[in-house]
Amino acid sequence: MFTPWPIGFVSTPYKDTSDIPKGLGTRHDAEGVITILPDFELGLTDIEGFSHLFVIWEFDRTQHFELLGTPPADNRRHGVFATRSPLRPNPIGLTVVELLHRNKAELHVRGVDMLDGTPILDVKPYLSSIPSESLRRGWLEEAEARANGNATVS
C-alpha cells in the first residue's frame, strides 16, 4: 500500500485525550487551525468556497487496536467499525469541520476533536448530507434512549 505522509498539522485546545469532550450529547464546537505544509498549499485553491470540510487525520498517539471496545457514549461493547474509537486497525480519524476562514496555508475551522499537533492526511470538500430522517444510528440511538429513560428494556 501507499506510505502516508502529513500534508499539515492541526492546532487544537486539546493537549491530552482526557481534555476532549466525549459521550452522549457532546457537541464539538472547539476552534482550531489546520496549517498545510508549503509543498501542498496550492492544493487549497478555491477551498474557501466550502462551508464544511472532511478532515482525515492520523491517531498518532495510539499504539494498538481493539476489535471490541466500550465507547464513552455507552456502557456496552461494540465493534470498532461501529464506533469512532481511536484504537483502529488503521489509525485514521475523520472529522467534519466548519471552515470559518482561510488565511494562506491556514484553515481556521470549528469542530475539531483531535489532539493538538495531530498530523493531517487529507482534506476534502463536504458536498452533501444524508437527510437526518433517513439515518438509523444503531447502538447510539439505543444508548440515548436509555439515558433519557425511554427504553422499554434495559
- By the criterion CB under 8 A, which residues form the site for a second copy? 1-7, 36, 40, 42-52, 54, 56, 58, 60, 67-68, 77-84, 88-92, 94, 96, 119, 121-132, 134-142
Scan for cell 444503531, then name that residue. 138
Q: Are 48 and 101 in contact (CB under 8 A)?
A: yes
- CA angle, residues 94, 100, 104, in degrees to nearest 5: 95
CB of 21 to a second copy, least distance (A): 15
- Of 15 and 61, the one with the shorter C-beta distance to a second copy is 61
As a whole number of angstroms, the distance between CA 128 and CA 37 comes to: 27
CB of 18 to a second copy, least distance (A): 22
CB of 65 to a second copy, least distance (A): 8
- Of 3 and 148, the one with the shorter C-beta distance to a second copy is 3
- Of 11 and 62, the one with the shorter C-beta distance to a second copy is 62
Dihedral over alpha carbons 3, 88, 55, 100 (to 10 degrees): -140
> Which of 61, 56, 53 is CA-nearest to residue 15?
61
As a whole number of angstroms, the distance between CA 21 and CA 30 comes to: 10
- Of 18 and 27, the one with the shorter C-beta distance to a second copy is 27
CB of 131 to a second copy, least distance (A): 7
